[in-house]
Structure 1
């Protein structure tokens, strides 16, 4: 029985083994025979890697083919550690850096542990501290607090979310805070954490502890000091960044000397893995010239990763166009990278080359600008601004002019457009920068050099900011030809004379002409030509309303004129609209009753929110939701504009405003906001002369003047002439304004008189051709914030208020920052309210601002030439230029150079249209 059972079990086991072996054989047959090709391909794919060779970037050239952006061939030193031991890598790295240093060549230093005088620090911490200090932020400020402080500083609408706010900071103000918007953490902190994780180190290690562990990990000789060991880690960090891709070479140094090239090639047997290579880098042969048009290169950011790396196949380390033509034409300028397929082993070491394709260069982009004319525009603009700052003489090729002094004039723009085509011939913005500093990745120091000189002053010079396309400001009297055309369309007789009485009084408000405001004079009888020549506000008040305000008589229009009509014509001229240029540009909505109402609501909301501590109890100011609800409630009454008594009752019943502050809040809302929100005849007056809610960029103004010179035919603006191999830029069909050519000539006649006998007569005296033009100035409300508000208050404290000590203010300031870090992230943000609080609310903001400078006026000049058959339109705007006359010499130099250059060169020819 037992024997029989034993035999039975034996055969069962044997059968099972046979079945398993049979299954294994069948599976082996499937894998090695039937699925051989599939598995072989899979194995090849795992052992095959691709190495890309970056394609040369396409050139950027002017309309005549002169190089603006090109590529420069340089020698590089690369290090491939495939097959090398740890000791060999260390020895070769140390020898290599010594050679580079001996020959004066710079080499990579992305290793973030800094050693100075025996002190060990993370460079990330240094950079964060420097950034916070530059913003006047406290060193313990969180990323979210810093971001909110920037929102307040740049007056970003508090209603928009953080992503929209970040976009506005970047696109409008050129501010790129080192903050991850999604997680609200400093990028410096995340980069430090990534560095430590890359080396499998604890993320809480100090810099000295991390360095010591790395020495042990990579067996750095004890004979070397930490400073010497760090040189090795500068190389090793580049190698580590490659991860398991040992078949790739790390670039250790770029643009090395011939001495280094010769040495490495001669000592190749002793320096295993080190090779001399060559590559192209972006090069701008004209330095700062056209910097705002060209733009600059930069690394692919986190938010761009998906678009460029995932979708378009870029290498994560590629540099891309970040601004200007480099950005807008990226898809054409970027070439097709070469690819070398190599076989590697399981450790990632190189074995052999399978195939290789050569890179294909990007396409060349031709601009509409004339490089010589551009240099004239930039030189003239820079000299004019510098002369205005000092009140010295502008000395140009076509004349000299003594400038009136306005020391705060620090920026401006000049734009020249071909009247018949809309092509940009020159576009200058000051201050500018050298895009070469971005060509291989910008340093922290260079990045700081192109930021605002005073982040607390929105008009402070900022090298990266393109004033020509982004500064949307009031145009002043240069807008008056728009009002003239609107009146002509409504039936104004341009020869009809109106007697200037000097001013118009409506209610308790007076609107005066410049002659009246200056010396109680008048311009006498004015028709359209003399009204434009003398820039007579009174004349334009009348034609903008269809009424002679002196006699009360109608001007007899066929169609009623209104602000809506004037804005309709402004829109036809391209004002407040995108021009079509291939660059980022700012557009401000045209003036309207709705825009004024919404603007007033936003201003009231911001005022109440920023001064809430003065009117609400602490229990509300510390409750964000409750405070916002109260402010929303008050702002919602703006359109209704209740009586003073009604507002008092509503504030008491519907909000938590402190009882003794109810009447103060009521009067502020009623008289400073509610009453001002309604559209009045005063708004019509202001709009008609280019003040009020008018706001346009120099580029839009140039397009408008070109349209005037083209007798009402508006072209799409372009700065790209075409792309080599693709063709010429194809534009939208021109738009024609419904106005008779004869009427347009009447407007231009007035502008001719401005140059002959008006404000530009001194500038263009003796000029070889007749020029038509118009001047204008526009005010900027408010005070210039000093770089350091704390220092300002401290130095003027005794003049602002008596009986309050600085220690009182300092104590209140620290308490405000402690109680409400969101609203008071910096001492500069807190000091004014601290002074108000320390004074027992006796001090007002106006008293604090009393010793600050006010803004000088924007200076505008718009011109076209020759006046009888305009070919070029030139617009110049100086920020805080003071008087329009100061902008005139720049326009004169550009027009003069244009006339001298006309017909000298043959333009690039494109036979096909852009696809």
Structure 2
């Protein structure tokens, strides 16, 4: 028996020994051989990577003067321990947040304002979503927000599961985050903005949320001093965008703001941005975003954080610094830009005062005429000059040396988010300081368009430099396009000077340009026809965007049949306002006819008849009484004999005549009349092409992109869109006419430049665009090139409602004098840009 027990005991000991040996081997394998592997896995499972964004690149002028750059700043961030989710924890954190808000605001700082729900002035609650986001996109944004905020659905009247209305959500969230009932809405919404950001970051709870940007050092010191009391609050070094030159070049540089549209957010997030990152909204900040940004993946650094199972950060494992964005070097000369902005603003103020004096002190007959015109229109006051533009461009490259729009604004107002008061002030200013007059406005050009008409006539051989075909006799009123014996209706085109005393006869193109003879260019336009005149305007770039690297550019247009009225488009989609005016007048007439007959027409009936009449007129070029009578019969059940006997068909023909293109419209396009509308930037490019032999450039306002180490990333070389190859003799003839505008004793601009330092090297063309029956409201254009023997720069000045071309001379003179004074000055050592945006000696 004992022998059997002994045998079993030995076997038991052997089994235990084998098991212990196996266990030791496994433990050795786990702790020694695979220690590094398992340690790596454990570390990886508890490590989170946080992207670190780089600073934004700077913007500077051609000489290195800083126009925009980032400076170090401090943000206040809030980190909530993700393990602390009890109601008591939320009450504790709400108290901490409230104390921090009071601290920040007492030191002059501002709290983020991002809460999705807003209470209006009438006390109703709604979602704070940009009006441009509508339909399904709007619904998706609301649903996503509610889901992320963990809003519970409720049953509506039909039993469907829906999210509560905004007011109920607001009060539910106040309860969830233990916000005292006694707290005012204005204070509660600040707390809710911060809690919203925390909730939306739940999936990345190890990342703090920013609750205040760019706080002062006093705020930083107090938050750090009260660290034990203000649990979760911390200071993070950041950067703030600074525009050191304030209003100078604001329309060029632009400003930054938050992303709004779903498409933009999605696009930028794919590039590495976060939804709350700022991006360029207008100007160079917007168009050069891809180069300036430090937010994209290629510029990002990273922090590797170790977090525990609850998501709490334990320590920082590693740090890779980001790289800053690239620098953008512009073609503009800051000193020239600043000079012209100052001069143009003074110029506008002077003209404004002169116009007021002209109206207030007009002789009784003139004043009566003005007041009668004002009484008949919706705008009861004179449109005095309030704004303007000036562009200086290199003739042989298309580089922009200055691009001025007045009035300007301070882009620093937008840093960190513009206040409602400031935005309202800018938006409601009648002079529209946010609007870039240099590239976003189009207006009637007047006589500066005669350069296009002259070139088109020469290139199409409708006029010549020598021989009978090159001479046109000014006969005063232009009636050549009228059929013999035709009844003259309305205004007959004629020259701008008194006939025949002040008219020059037997003019060639040089004399016609010098005298700005309307009759001459009526005749050239008539010979060309509207299609060929439009074709040359297109070739010279007047009817297309130039492609300059700025936001908000609009294309001009030259009058033609479809510009006046396009029957293939709805009345609300027409290029000009005139078709709508004619349509509304026509609708009123048709209603009156129904009243006379004792019939009440529906809106659909009247609109159908008016639309059909206008489309018929537009398609056929005009309508006759028979066609009108037939439409009235079919659409409004008016017998044809009734509309004929009462003269209604003739009245309608006279009404729709205004949207029917005629030869009369063609000839007045030769002098740049309505509906021709051009932008200053397109005029500058066109002027360069006229005098450089036909090279139509894409204007550039960016010179190059430079990385943080000084390497050139990209250079913006002169870009020729098309080369018209204008014969030299044509260019010389046009230049001679422009020369005499300035130099000849009776040239249209000769008196203004009589004692000017650089008069002898100038050539130019003036223009007055008629925009109403009140001459004080006329547009002013002035085009200059210099030196006339071999043009280097073109200067274009534009004063909407500036009255007379002579009013723009001070700004143009300032541009010319600066350029040639600098060119003729002794060579100096090139200055270096200082960090503050000035110049170092």
Q: 1:694 to 1:226 in 2, by over 3 A?
A: closer
Aligned equivalent of 2:555: 587
Which residue among 409, 419, 435 is the counterpart of 1:433? Answer: 409
Q: Please, which runs of 5 or more residues in structure 2 have no aligned partner?
A: 1-29, 31-35, 155-162, 358-380, 572-577, 707-711, 834-841
Single out whichever of 69-78 and 659-668 deviates more from structure 2: 659-668
2:271 pairs with 1:312: yes
Aligned equivalent of 2:459: 489
Aligned equivalent of 2:239: 280
Aligned equivalent of 2:739: 752
Measure how far apart 1:66 and its partner are.
Answer: 1.3
Q: Please, which runs of 5 or more residues in structure 1 have no aligned partner?
A: 1-31, 129-176, 395-404, 454-459, 547-560, 783-852, 910-915
CA contact (8 A) 2:629 2:643 kept: no
1:9-58: CA deviations, max 9, x gaps? xxxxxxxxxxxxxxxxxxxxxxx9xxxx9999999988654423222111
Aligned equivalent of 1:182: 135
Measure how far apart 1:531 and its partner are.
Answer: 1.6
Q: 1:565 to 1:183 in 2, by over 3 A?
A: same
Measure how far apart 1:217 and its partner are.
Answer: 2.6
CA contact (8 A) 1:71 1:283 kept: yes
Aligned equivalent of 2:653: 670
Single out whichever of 218-227 and 872-881 deviates more from structure 2: 218-227
Aligned equivalent of 1:648: 629
CA contact (8 A) 2:60 2:330 kept: yes
Alpha-carbon distance between aligned partners in 1 of 2:637 and 2:189, rounded to the nearest angstrom:
62
* 2:67 alignment partner, SS class: strand
Measure how far apart 1:696 and its partner are.
Answer: 1.4
1:846-884: CA deviations, max 9, x gaps? xxxxxxx89811111111112222111010111111111
Alpha-carbon distance between aligned partners in 2 of 1:627 and 1:905, rounded to the nearest angstrom:
75
1:394-413 → structure 2 map (5 Å cutoff): 408-413=384-389
Alpha-carbon distance between aligned partners in 2 of 1:299 and 1:227, rounded to the nearest angstrom:
22
How many residues were matched structurally? Answer: 718
1:151-166 → structure 2 map (5 Å cutoff): none
Aligned equivalent of 1:169: none
Alpha-carbon distance between aligned partners in 2 of 1:102 and 1:267, rounded to the nearest angstrom:
15
Q: 1:260 to 1:485 in 2, by over 3 A?
A: same
Measure how far apart 1:254 and its partner are.
Answer: 2.2
Q: 1:285 to 1:225 in 2, by over 3 A?
A: closer
Aligned equivalent of 2:230: 271
CA contact (8 A) 1:515 1:523 kept: no
Alpha-carbon distance between aligned partners in 1 of 2:171 and 2:548, rounded to the nearest angstrom:
55
1:663-711: CA deviations, max 9, x gaps? 787445422325752431x233211111144221101111111123323
Alpha-carbon distance between aligned partners in 2 of 1:613 and 1:44, rounded to the nearest angstrom:
80
Aligned equivalent of 1:386: 349
Aligned equivalent of 2:305: 342
Single out whichever of 225-234 and 729-738 deviates more from structure 2: 225-234
* 2:752 alignment partner, SS class: coil
* 2:417 alignment partner, SS class: coil
Relative to the length of structure 1, the TM-score reads: 0.70
2:355 pairs with 1:368: no
Alpha-carbon distance between aligned partners in 1 of 2:829 and 2:519, rounded to the nearest angstrom:
47
Aligned equivalent of 2:516: 535
Alpha-carbon distance between aligned partners in 2 of 1:859 and 1:714, rounded to the nearest angstrom:
24
Q: 1:646 to 1:466 in 2, by over 3 A?
A: same
Aligned equivalent of 2:108: 104
CA contact (8 A) 2:557 2:678 kept: no
2:784 pairs with 1:863: yes
Single out whichever of 439-448 and 249-258 deviates more from structure 2: 439-448
Alpha-carbon distance between aligned partners in 2 of 1:897 and 1:123, rounded to the nearest angstrom:
57
Alpha-carbon distance between aligned partners in 2 of 1:191 and 1:86, rounded to the nearest angstrom:
24
Aligned equivalent of 2:503: 522
CA contact (8 A) 2:560 2:661 kept: no
2:603 pairs with 1:633: no
2:770 pairs with 1:779: yes
Relative to the length of structure 2, the TM-score reads: 0.75
Which residue among 388, 391, 396 is the counterpart of 1:420? Answer: 396
Q: 1:485 to 1:220 in 2, by over 3 A?
A: closer
CA contact (8 A) 2:397 2:718 kept: no
1:366-420: CA deviations, max 9, x gaps? 11111111111211221122211111899xxxxxxxxxx9762112211110112
Alpha-carbon distance between aligned partners in 2 of 1:265 and 1:246, rounded to the nearest angstrom:
22
Measure how far apart 1:775 and its partner are.
Answer: 0.8
Alpha-carbon distance between aligned partners in 1 of 2:433 and 2:698, rounded to the nearest angstrom:
27
Alpha-carbon distance between aligned partners in 2 of 1:213 and 1:534, rounded to the nearest angstrom:
77
Aligned equivalent of 1:566: 533
1:814-873: CA deviations, max 9, x gaps? xxxxxxxxxxxxxxxxxxxxxxxxxxxxxxxxxxxxxxx898111111111122221110
Aligned equivalent of 1:503: 477
Measure how far apart 1:100 and its partner are.
Answer: 2.3
Q: CA RMSD in A?
A: 4.2
Q: 1:181 to 1:103 in 2, by over 3 A?
A: closer
* 1:97 alignment partner, SS class: helix
Aligned equivalent of 1:323: 282
CA contact (8 A) 2:291 2:325 kept: yes
Aligned equivalent of 1:685: 667
2:80 pairs with 1:77: no
CA contact (8 A) 2:393 2:793 kept: yes
Alpha-carbon distance between aligned partners in 1 of 2:60 and 2:794, rounded to the nearest angstrom:
22
Alpha-carbon distance between aligned partners in 2 of 1:42 and 1:854, rounded to the nearest angstrom:
82
Single out whichever of 361-370 and 564-573 deviates more from structure 2: 564-573
1:578-635: CA deviations, max 9, x gaps? 3231224211344444544527974546743687476358986455xx6665444333
Alpha-carbon distance between aligned partners in 2 of 1:304 and 1:392, rounded to the nearest angstrom:
48
* 1:414 alignment partner, SS class: strand
CA contact (8 A) 2:251 2:408 kept: yes
Alpha-carbon distance between aligned partners in 2 of 1:487 and 1:879, rounded to the nearest angstrom:
29
Single out whichever of 294-303 and 211-220 deviates more from structure 2: 211-220
CA contact (8 A) 1:478 1:860 kept: yes
Measure how far apart 1:71 and its partner are.
Answer: 0.9
1:614-629 → structure 2 map (5 Å cutoff): 615=590, 621=602, 623=604, 629=608
Aligned equivalent of 1:477: 447
CA contact (8 A) 2:390 2:795 kept: yes
* 2:795 alignment partner, SS class: strand
Aligned equivalent of 2:754: 765
CA contact (8 A) 2:696 2:720 kept: no
* 2:257 alignment partner, SS class: strand
1:102-251 → structure 2 map (5 Å cutoff): 102-110=106-114, 121=123, 178-182=131-135, 213-220=172-179, 232-233=191-192, 235-251=194-210
